Structure 1
Amino acid sequence: MQSIVVYCGSNHGTQPIYSEVARELGRTMAERNIRLIYGGGGFGLMGVVADTVLEHGGEVIGVIPNFLAELEVAHQTLTEIHFVETMHERKFKMVTLSKGVIALPGGYGTLDELFEILAWRQLKLYDGPVAIINTNGYYDLMLQQLDVMVREGFLKPQNRELLIVANTVEEALAKMGTQTI
């Protein structure tokens, strides 16, 4: 797998473990020559992942809407940055550059991106693996909700299985089919 989109928060969260896992993901991606594709911001977990990939000699491609770049939230030292007009263009561009998706903890934006790519997988508009790293049980309640959706007949079991659930970076990458160097 040559490139992975990472969705995650523009904040650090309240627990240091979230930044620790973001650093571990960034380091591991760089060590395995997996290019990071992400939203182009320099703050929060997004900045941690990007900075760590760069610190370890990896490549980072950011995709950011012009309105966010004008607010000076764009990361300034990426390998490559793409400027787009809308959030939808951003999401589309990121996944066209990637072979898989990983979500770390985040807020509305992270969940929006995660559920949109899962809907695209369900509709066969995207065929890469989609994983979450469930650090500190962050996604436990969301996973319970997905099970309710299956039980109540709103989500087919085979579509529920489109989401890879992992508790560690290594588990996520292994389940996604990456290889250790």
Structure 2
Amino acid sequence: MNRIAVYCGSATPADPVYIDTARAVGRGLAERGIGVVYGGGKLGLMGAVADSALEAGGEVIGVIPDALVEAEVAHRGLTELHPVRTMHQRKQLFTDLSDGFMTIPGGTGTMDELWEAMSWAQLGYHAKPVGLLNAAGYYDHLIAFVAKMAEVGFLRPQHRALLIVDDTIDGLLAKMAAHRPLEATITRMSQADL
């Protein structure tokens, strides 16, 4: 993988484990020669990922909506900064520029990005690995929810493997590198399914 899209929050939680995780991800990717594609912000975990990757000599590409550039939260020291008009364009550019996706702790926007990456993989719009770094157990409940979706039947067994989970950066990157794309399963829906 040459570049990984890192999805994360723009907040800085009180517990330092989250900002430390973001710094370790940025530094760890840069030290492996993997470029970072991320939300383009200078605040919170986003800024920590970017600054740490840059300090380690890495490539950092930001993709940020115009409204956030105008609100002066854009990181101006990146390798590249791509302002876009909409969130849809933002997520498409994340996909176009990256060889995989890594989600670290974040909020609603982070979840939106993760679910879209998974959904697009499920539908065959991309065949890239979708990783979840479960730092400090942050995503324990989300992992349980994914298992519940599979148990109930809303997530096909073959699609459960789309979400690659580990609690260490090294472990997650190893699993992502070993990722083999699944065959997309797009089926016709009957009237009963609607």
Q: Which residue of 2 aligns with 1:50?
A: 50
Equivalent AA in structure 2 for residue 175 of structure 1: K
The RMSD of aligned alpha carbons is 0.9
2:173 counterpart of 1:160: no
Runs of 4+ in 1 over 4 A off after TM superposition: none
Q: Secondary structure at the match of 2:118?
A: helix
Structure 1: how far apart are the matches of 2:33 and 2:155? Answer: 36
| TM norm structure 1 | 0.96
Show structure 1 runs of 5+ residues with no match. Answer: none
Q: Which residue of 2 aligns with 1:79?
A: 79
Relative contact order (C-alpha < 8 Å, sep 6+): which is higher?
1
1:170 Cα shift? 0.5
Aligned residues: 178
1:177 Cα shift? 1.0
Q: Which residue of 1 aligns with 2:96?
A: 96
Structure 1: how far apart are the matches of 2:135 and 2:55? Answer: 23
Q: Which residue of 2 aligns with 1:67?
A: 67
1:42 Cα shift? 0.5
2:10 counterpart of 1:13: no
1:61 Cα shift? 0.4
Q: Which residue of 2 aligns with 1:117?
A: 117
Alignment of 1:139-178 (within 5 A): 139-177=139-177
Equivalent AA in structure 2 for residue 50 of structure 1: A
Identity %: 52
1:14 Cα shift? 2.9
Q: Secondary structure at the match of 1:58?
A: coil
Show structure 2 runs of 5+ residues with no match. Answer: 179-194
